[in-house]
Amino acid sequence: MVTPMVAIVGRPNVGKSTFFNKVTGKRLSIVKNTPGVTRDRLYADVEWCGHTFTLIDTGGIEVNSEDMMWKQIRKQADAAIDTADVILFFVDGKTGITSDDHEVASFLRKTAKPVICVVNKVDGRDESVKYEFYALGLGDPVAVSSEQSMGLGDLLDSIVSHFDKVPQEEKNENLKIAVAGKPNSGKSSLVNKILGVDRVIVTDIAGTTRDAIDTPFRIGDKNYTIIDTAGIRKKSKVDEDIEYYSVIRSIGAIRRADVVLIVIDSAEGMTEQDVKICGLAHDAGKPSVIVMNKWDLIEKNTNTINLFNNKLKAELKFMDYFKPLYISALTGKRVEKVLDAAEEVHANASRMIQTGILNDVIGDAIAVNEPPNRFGKKLKISYSKQVANCPPTFVLFVNDPTIMHFSYRRYLENCLRKAFDFSGTPIRIRLNAREEK
């Protein structure tokens, strides 16, 4: 099931970032008493009462400003509505309802998605101040103080109560493939070449594709849905307000995909932003293919691919399972291999290992390299089993999870990868405490 997304919207300086920081437990947003401080759209996974969801922090919506920063207000509001499964509309309990609140509320009332009106800054005051906000027509307001952590539990309860009502995508046999990457890396050209039609506008202007566009298609007896996403660029390069939401949509596309094609400009080489995009797919647990596009622009000899592979290994140490593919979307060279590669990594991510075979592999790994002592105690692994796939997830029952060193966990992962083909997909290893008899 795709992780629900919860967007925080509202006019500037109503405490959205303070709430985000309190709930995520990290100081991820800059909090300052100045409107417009949050220019970067931040997101973080939150767990509450067994529910996991992605919380999105957004910049304040300034309705009447003529500043270029706010010109895309309607598009921004529409994008927030389209992206989120639940919307938190923050208002200021101290200042009361403003005309801007009414403007934003009018946008939000048009959606069928759950909207929770959050009356913030009720700092030790009578919660009756929230009744004024019934006038916004968004249901029962929830009074909180993000600064003092008052009422946050009730708000989180209200958020997760809506998840059972969130419409889920229809289950089908289509393999959903997200095409992600920096702007102008050739994503849309690749989509068009795969589809055989000009489904997506292609120009040499970075940032043409703003939304994640789903296109179902069929080849032979196999059904696919390809998702062309907006280019993910460095935050410092994102100068249009609406484009922040394009990044969030791309993140959402990655999360709901079965496979991610990460398109990289071979002529430019792997950049820091490319590595970050790879990290998004890795953190989401998605199998992926590193598609080195524009291969026709590279001067080649018999060792060129090896040199590029070595560079990728150096940059992608955290996902050394990566599967590379060198293509040219412009000329069509090797494009026919893209779907085969996507099928392959998805099959690897879907693989389930029999418990007996898994324990044999783990047992052999322990025999070759026993867990080292740590904190004066020796780690004992008594049993293992696979509990999920996509990504493959393994549970090891141990005497004390706290003494497992990350280097030994990595050693066990490498042993699993040598025994089974998990190329192109991350795997997860979890530890469970098991009392010794």
Q: How far apart, in whole angstroms, are the C-alpha atoms of residue 120 and residue 417?
A: 49
Q: How far apart, in whole angstroms, are the C-alpha atoms of residue 293 and residue 329?
A: 7
Please give the backbone phi and psi of residue 314, each rounded to the nearest 5 degrees, phi first. Answer: -70, -35
pLDDT at 60: 65
Contact (CB, 8 A) for 326 and 334: yes
Q: How far apart, in whole angstroms, are the C-alpha atoms of residue 228 and residue 181?
A: 10
The residue assigned the tokens 């101040």 is 129
H or E element in which residue 195 lies: helix 187-195
Highest mean pLDDT among 138-152, 251-265, 342-356: 342-356
Alpha helices in 196-335 (DSSP H): 241-256, 272-283, 304-315
Q: How far apart, in whole angstroms, are the C-alpha atoms of residue 198 and residue 372?
A: 58
Q: How far apart, in whole angstroms, are the C-alpha atoms of residue 150 and residue 120?
A: 10
What is the band of 27 on the pLDDT scale with cuts at 50, 70, 90?
low
pLDDT at 222: 85
For the chain, the domains span 5-165, 175-350, 355-433
What is the band of 314 on the pLDDT scale with cuts at 50, 70, 90?
very high
What is the band of 372 on the pLDDT scale with cuts at 50, 70, 90?
confident
Give the Cα-Cα-Cα angle 93, 96, 99 (nearest 5 degrees). Answer: 135
| Whole-number average pLDDT of the chain | 81
For residue 100, pLDDT beyond 90: no
**Which positions ≥6 away from 91 have C-beta within 8 Å?**
10, 11, 14, 97, 101, 117, 118, 119, 120, 133, 136, 141
273 three-class SS: helix
For residue 14, pLDDT beyond 90: no
What is the band of 107 on the pLDDT scale with cuts at 50, 70, 90?
confident
pLDDT at 71: 47
pLDDT, mean of residues 282-305: 92
pLDDT at 363: 94
Strands 213-219 and 222-228: antiparallel
pLDDT at 229: 75
pLDDT at 377: 85
Least confident segment among 246-250, 262-266, 282-286, 339-343:
246-250
Number of Cβ within a 10 Å radius of residue 40: 16
Contact (CB, 8 A) for 391 and 356: no
pLDDT at 396: 95
Q: How far apart, in whole angstroms, are the C-alpha atoms of residue 51 and residue 422?
A: 29
Number of Cβ within a 10 Å radius of residue 336: 12
Amino acid (one-letter) located at 35: P
Q: Which two tokens stand for residue 335?
A: 């494009």
Amino acid (one-letter) located at 54: T
Amino acid (one-letter) located at 16: K
Q: Which two tokens stand for residue 295?
A: 């291969």
Amino acid (one-letter) located at 138: L
* Strands of the 428-433 sheet, one edge to the other: 381-388, 393-398, 428-433
pLDDT, mean of residues 385-409: 92
What is the band of 1 on the pLDDT scale with cuts at 50, 70, 90?
low
Contact (CB, 8 A) for 424 and 344: yes
pLDDT tens digit string along 37-72? 333 345 677 888 888 888 877 766 665 555 544 444
What is the band of 206 on the pLDDT scale with cuts at 50, 70, 90?
very low
- The rounded Cα 340 to chain-centroid distance in angstroms is 24
Homologous superfamily (CATH) of 355-433 is: K homology (KH) domain (3.30.300.20)
pLDDT at 4: 84
pLDDT at 242: 40
Compare 393 and 183 and report the one with higher pLDDT: 393
What is the band of 191 on the pLDDT scale with cuts at 50, 70, 90?
confident
Q: Which two tokens stand for residue 413?
A: 């992962």
Least confident segment among 330-334, 374-378, 380-384, 418-422:
374-378
pLDDT, mean of residues 254-275: 91
Q: How far apart, in whole angstroms, are the C-alpha atoms of residue 2 and residue 169?
A: 9
For residue 427, pLDDT beyond 50: yes
Q: How far apart, in whole angstroms, are the C-alpha atoms of residue 80 and residue 245?
A: 7
Do the domains 175-350 and 355-433 sit in the same CATH topology, yes or no? no
The residue assigned the tokens 């418990």 is 355
pLDDT at 273: 83
Q: Which numeric CATH code is attached to 175-350? A: 3.40.50.300
pLDDT at 201: 42
Q: How far apart, in whole angstroms, are the C-alpha atoms of residue 207 and residue 382?
A: 52
Least confident segment among 84-93, 220-229, 246-255:
246-255
pLDDT at 259: 96
| Range 301-310 contact pairs with CB under 8 angstroms and sequence separation of 24 or more | 308/266
pLDDT tens digit string along 350-366? 999 999 999 999 999 99
Contact (CB, 8 A) for 76 and 245: yes
Amino acid (one-letter) located at 135: A
The CATH topology of domain 5-165 is: Rossmann fold (3.40.50)
